[in-house]
């Protein structure tokens, strides 16, 4: 059954973002604001960096504002944070990524002016941008969202997002795969990974893949085959999932940008689920100095060790 | 006098990643004590279990290992204070990931073997070798390496027709 999701607050949220961006840019509190602007196709949106108060009116928030802008602060536009304090428009999931980056000493809280967005959900990657938001067109990550209202921001519009209880697609798919035999799971992932063309879009878009030189690009020693063939693909996706375990904030950008529609976030959700069970860790709004895989307790489970 | 050697149809390749301070010394003790253990195991020495990256295990399987053993100091005995505590969490997570991708975890064994436990080293290696021998060769990764499949299975009728027309 298709449920319509109420996005009427987005217009008021856009206005509040514009007003706040204008205020902080005029007052000189920030040197730039990273946000969303309308793109050329009807209803679509794209990231924008504005530096003058005049441009504040360009900022919008719609269900097509899918990008996680945190990536602009670590990789894509690495020079941005150096120019002074930066305003950034963040949904709850994006804020978790920023919090993770702060925990890993990639960003400082005082460098940022966080404009939180009360978000009821955004569109899935396969949906045309001017479509209405329903339980069918919503991004799968939004079905399991527990962060509709970001916390700890410098400014959050007063609107409250309405978020109905929806079917959790990732949880259902993980449960389905877990119930299969190892051979069936291997066959499933073999089929999925064989689609990979090694474009590394998943790596480029991930706020946490900020290594200057990726292990998978090194050839002395070469740990992962670089050719887009099944062996190298499988190794790449296993390494990717392992390197994000305990760090991934669940923004699902990897899955959104994948041109071959590999369910990458499924691996990330699975690892998040396991780390929650094993070490009671979840990505959240609280900055932690250490994640679950670079801390330990003496009483950790070791039933699998002889 | 050597005990009579059994002939097997399949000799598995076992790769053992061991820490130099405990398990390597333990294996050395087994050797100097003249204990017998299967020659299937290839020992790779690392400074600490904390140095053993999960990607090494992956690489071992890809390069033809039928079983992998990772072994280091008991918790609390680490030469670097906490290397094995970190490794313990990392391997717990990595196991779950491999399991989800469909790798049989019976082929991957973790153990704590101290420098005084030559007997335990023999036991761990023998158990794993026999277990993997009964399971047969690890074929999944080897098959992957032989495949030249690009972007999914191309098996639509239109494509087949086009291919046959060439």
- Out of A293, A297, A306, name the one closest to residue B109 (CB): A306
Q: What is the pLDDT of residues A288-298, one digit of tens each?
A: 888 899 999 99
Tell me: pLDDT of A277 over 60: yes
Q: Cα dist. A290→A105, A193, A287, B160 in Å?
A: 10, 31, 9, 53
Q: How far is A266 from chain B (nearest CA, A)?
A: 10
Tell me: pLDDT of B146 over 90: no
Tell me: pLDDT of B20 over 80: yes
pLDDT at B1: 53
Domain map of chain B by residue range?
14-165
Structural domain includes residue A303: no
Tell me: pLDDT of A242 over 90: yes
Same-domain pairing of A22 and A138 = yes
Same-domain pairing of A102 and A36 = yes
- pLDDT above 70 coverage of chain B, percent: 92
d(CA B65, CA B43): 12
pLDDT at B156: 74
pLDDT at A212: 86
d(CA A263, CA A243): 17
Please report which confidence band the pLDDT of residue B149 belongs to, taking 50, 70 and 90 as the band edges: low
Same-domain pairing of A200 and A100 = no
More confident residue, B85 or A228: B85
**Mean pLDDT along residues B5-9:** 78
Structural domain includes residue A268: yes
Structural domain includes residue A176: yes
d(CA B102, CA A166): 29
| Range in A80-89, A99-108, A208-217, B19-28 with the lowest mean pLDDT | A80-89
Same-domain pairing of A87 and A213 = no
* SS3 state of residue B86: helix
pLDDT at A1: 74
Structural domain includes residue A288: yes
Question: Of all helices (H) and strands (E), which one includes residue A36?
Answer: strand A32-38
Please report which confidence band the pLDDT of residue B163 belongs to, taking 50, 70 and 90 as the band edges: confident
**Mean pLDDT along residues A255-262:** 93
Same-domain pairing of A181 and A92 = no
Task: Specify the pairing of strand B108-112 against strand B67-72.
Answer: parallel
B71's CB contacts (< 8 A; 6+ apart) are B16, B17, B18, B19, B22, B23, B49, B110, B111, B112, B113, B121, B124
CB contact under 8 A, B97 and A302: no
pLDDT at B148: 67
Same-domain pairing of A15 and A139 = yes
Same-domain pairing of A288 and A222 = yes
**Mean pLDDT along residues A67-88:** 83
Cα-Cα-Cα-Cα dihedral of A124, A129, A131, A136, to 10°? -10
Which residues of B fall within a CB distance of 8 Å from A298?
75-76, 85
Pick the CATH number of B14-165 from 2.40.50, 1.10.3470, 3.40.50, 3.40.5: 3.40.50
Tell me: pLDDT of A79 over 90: no
pTM of the model: 0.91
| Residue A124 belongs to domain spanning | 9-143
Number of structural domains (chain A) is: 2
d(CA B107, CA B98): 11
Chain centroid to CA A174: 19
Q: What is the pLDDT of residues B105-125, one digit of tens each?
A: 999 999 999 999 999 999 999
Q: How far is A248 from chain B (nearest CA, A)?
A: 14
Q: What is the pLDDT of residues A39-50, one digit of tens each?
A: 999 999 999 999
Q: What is the pLDDT of residues A180-227, one digit of tens each?
A: 999 999 999 998 998 899 999 999 999 999 988 899 998 888 889 888
Instruction: For an interface test with B, give the residue of A248, A296, A297, A303 to mutate (most B CBs within 10 A).
Output: A296
Which residues of A fall within a CB distance of 8 Å from B103?
182, 186
Please report which confidence band the pLDDT of residue A76 belongs to, taking 50, 70 and 90 as the band edges: low
Same-domain pairing of A86 and A184 = no
More confident residue, A277 or B162: A277
| Range in B95-104, B125-134, B149-158 with the lowest mean pLDDT | B149-158
Count residue pairs from A and B with Cβ separation < 8 A.
134
Tell me: pLDDT of A14 over 90: yes
pLDDT at B2: 65
More confident residue, A247 or A166: A247
**Mean pLDDT along residues B54-70:** 94
Cα-Cα-Cα-Cα dihedral of B120, B124, B125, B127, to 10°? 130
Tell me: pLDDT of B25 over 80: yes
Nearest CA in chain A to B90: A293
pLDDT at B162: 84
pLDDT at A95: 95
Tell me: pLDDT of A81 over 80: no
Please report which confidence band the pLDDT of residue B87 belongs to, taking 50, 70 and 90 as the band edges: very high
Same-domain pairing of A54 and A111 = yes
CB contact under 8 A, B147 and A275: no
B40's CB contacts (< 8 A; 6+ apart) are B11, B12, B13, B14, B129
Structural domain includes residue A232: yes
Q: How far is B29 from chain A (nearest CA, A)?
A: 19
Tell me: pLDDT of A102 over 90: yes
Look at the alpha carbons of A243, A248, A253, A258 in this order and tell me if their dihedral is positive or negative. positive
pLDDT at A230: 87
Q: Cα dist. A85→A20, A78, B113 in Å?
A: 15, 13, 52
Tell me: pLDDT of B76 over 80: yes
């Amino acid at each position: 059954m298709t449920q319509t999701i109420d996005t009427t607050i987005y217009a008021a949220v856009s206005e509040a973002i514009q007003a706040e961006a204008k205020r902080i840019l005029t007052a000189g509190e920030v040197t730039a604001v990273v946000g969303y602007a309308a793109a050329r196709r009807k209803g679509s949106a794209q990231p924008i960096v504005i530096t003058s108060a005049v441009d504040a009116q360009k900022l919008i928030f719609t269900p097509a504002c899918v990008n996680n802008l945190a990536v602009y602060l670590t990789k894509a536009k690495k020079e941005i944070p150096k120019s002074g304090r930066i305003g950034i428009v963040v949904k709850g999931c994006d804020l978790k990524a920023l919090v993770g980056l702060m925990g890993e000493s990639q960003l400082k809280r005082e460098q940022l002016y966080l404009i939180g967005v009360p978000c009821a959900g955004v569109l899935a990657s396969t949906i045309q941008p001017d479509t209405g938001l329903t339980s069918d067109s919503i991004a799968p990550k939004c079905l399991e969202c527990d962060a509709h209202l970001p916390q700890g921001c410098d400014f959050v519009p007063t609107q409250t997002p309405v978020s109905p209880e929806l079917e959790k697609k990732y949880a259902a798919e993980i449960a389905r795969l877990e119930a299969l035999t190892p051979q069936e799971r291997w066959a499933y992932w073999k089929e999925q990974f064989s689609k990979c063309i090694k474009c590394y879009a998943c790596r480029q878009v991930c706020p946490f893949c900020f290594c200057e030189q990726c292990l998978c690009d090194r050839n002395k020693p070469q740990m992962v085959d670089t050719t887009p063939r099944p062996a190298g693909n499988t190794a790449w996706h296993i390494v990717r999932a392992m390197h994000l375990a305990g760090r991934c904030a669940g923004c699902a950008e990897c899955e959104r940008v994948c041109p071959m529609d590999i369910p990458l976030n499924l691996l990330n959700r699975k690892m998040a689920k396991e780390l929650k069970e094993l070490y009671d860790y979840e990505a959240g709004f609280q900055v932690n100095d250490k994640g679950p895989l670079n801390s330990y307790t003496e009483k950790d489970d070791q039933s699998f060790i002889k | 006098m050597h005990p009579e050697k059994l002939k097997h149809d399949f000799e598995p390749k076992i790769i053992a990643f061991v820490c130099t301070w405990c398990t390597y010394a333990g294996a050395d003790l087994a050797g100097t004590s003249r204990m017998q253990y299967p020659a299937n195991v290839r020992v790779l020495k690392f400074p600490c279990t904390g140095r053993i990256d999960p990607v090494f295990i992956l690489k071992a399987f890809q390069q033809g290992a039928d079983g992998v053993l990772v072994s280091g100091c008991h918790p609390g005995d680490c030469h670097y204070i906490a290397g094995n505590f970190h490794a313990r969490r990392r391997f717990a997570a990595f196991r779950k990931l491999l399991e989800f991708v469909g790798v049989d975890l019976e082929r991957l064994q973790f153990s704590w073997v101290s420098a005084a436990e030559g007997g335990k080293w023999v036991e761990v290696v023998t158990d794993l070798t026999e277990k993997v021998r009964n399971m047969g060769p690890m074929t999944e990764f080897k098959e992957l390496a032989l495949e030249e499949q690009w972007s999914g299975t191309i098996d639509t009728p239109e494509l087949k027709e086009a291919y046959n027309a060439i």
